[in-house]
Amino acid sequence: MQKVKAKAVQVKGVTFMGITDSNHWVPIDGPAEFGGADAGIRPKELLLLSLIGCTGSDVASILNKMREPYTRFEVVLDGEMTDQHPKVYTKLHITYRVWGEGIKESNLQKAIQLSSQTYCGVTAMLKDSVEISDSYVINPED
């Protein structure tokens, strides 16, 4: 089993600098009214980026292996969060947006399915606690 480490060092108030095994620092912060400097991403927002970054990397890699001729790729997330504390995400919808001519819809569907059901560790960790859905859009070349 692989071991991992992460550390968050307080800068001031609720402003932290986080670092993990990849040795990249990430500013994590809150709004000024809660003691932050509004100088970094919020912790829960970072979770959203982790999810779409993970699945986006999977889908891009799979599409490249399938030699799909896409020219641009975006992953967009829309979600819902509770109003009461602890404020947690209840629904997350991921839209995969691909641009290019001649992209096979079946290959895009397969890439998304492989990511969501097999490869994306972030999806695997979240799927039992939040409803995650997805869709895709194939656009003609820009």
Residues 6+ apart with CB under 8 A from 131: 90, 91, 92
Look up tokens 């089993």; give the residue: 1
The span from the CA of 52 to the CA of 30, in Å, is: 22
Is residue 105 pLDDT above 80, yes or no?
Answer: yes
For the chain, what are the domain ranges? 1-41, 43-139
CATH code at 43-139: 3.30.300.20
Mean pLDDT of the chain: 96
105: phi then psi, degrees, rounded to nearest 5: -60, -40
pTM of the model: 0.93
pLDDT tens digits for 47-61? 999 999 999 999 999
pLDDT tens digits for 65-88? 999 999 999 999 999 999 999 999
Residues 6+ apart with CB under 8 A from 89: 44, 47, 48, 79, 80, 81, 130
22: phi then psi, degrees, rounded to nearest 5: -75, -5
Stretch 9-15: mean pLDDT, rounded? 95
Query: Pairing between strand 25-28 and 72-81?
Result: unpaired
